Structure 1
Amino acid sequence: MSELEKKFNETAEFVRSWHPAKTVSNEDKLAGYSLFKQATIGDCNIPAPGIFSLTERAKWNAWNALKGMSKEEAMQKYIDCIEAQKVKYA
């Protein structure tokens, strides 16, 4: 396992148990979600949800916007995103 993968896994584990002091914005939640999906699965591989499934549609749009981003780039951006959120929402 590479250093990047180790740091990514540590960051993902942190997020699972994190209780931020402030409410995380939907925009920041979507950023973390989409980067995590791109890093772990790759390009969005599910059909777009219906227009009335607002939350699922927003998640799909955020992930689909990262199409073509490499796993390594997504991992690093996820780590950077969460590190910034730790400071912002501490």
Structure 2
Amino acid sequence: MDLEERFREAQDRVKKLPSAPSNDTLLELYALYKQSTIGDVQGARPGMMDFKGRAKFDAWAARKGTPKDKAMESYVALVTRLTGG
């Protein structure tokens, strides 16, 4: 199975987790997904009152410069840890 297939499979597996991961883990999943599918963060940082949007933007921005393949590998590895294999 190639990396793209493992990435898509991980996306399916993460949707079936028995309980929601912590907020930090959700932000990490979000950032890795966006870096994998879009690349470096785009747009302006949300305003101070948009706490959720700002946290998501900052998590994604922290991955700036990470190659898409590396981000996919990290996403798959994180989902594997969350699902226990």
| TM-score, normalised relative to structure 1 | 0.86
* 2:71 paired with 1:70: no
Contact 1:28–1:85 (CA<8 Å) still a contact in 2? no
Q: Which residue of 2 aligns with 1:25?
A: 22
Query: What amino acid is aligned across from residue 60 of structure 2 in structure 1?
Result: W
Contact 2:13–2:83 (CA<8 Å) still a contact in 1? no
Query: What amino acid is aligned across from residue 7 of structure 1 in structure 2?
Result: R
| TM-score, normalised relative to structure 2 | 0.91
Larger deviation, residues 68-77 vs 4-13: 4-13
Q: Which runs of 4+ in 1 moved over 4 A?
A: none
Q: Which residue of 2 aligns with 1:11?
A: 10
CA-based RMSD: 1.4
Consecutive unaligned residues in structure 2, runs of 5 or more: none
Consecutive unaligned residues in structure 1, runs of 5 or more: none
Q: How does 1:72-87 map to 2 (within 5 A)?
A: 72-87=69-84
Report the Cα offset of residue 73 of structure 1: 0.1
Query: What amino acid is aligned across from residue 2 of structure 2 in structure 1?
Result: E
Equivalent pairs, count:
84
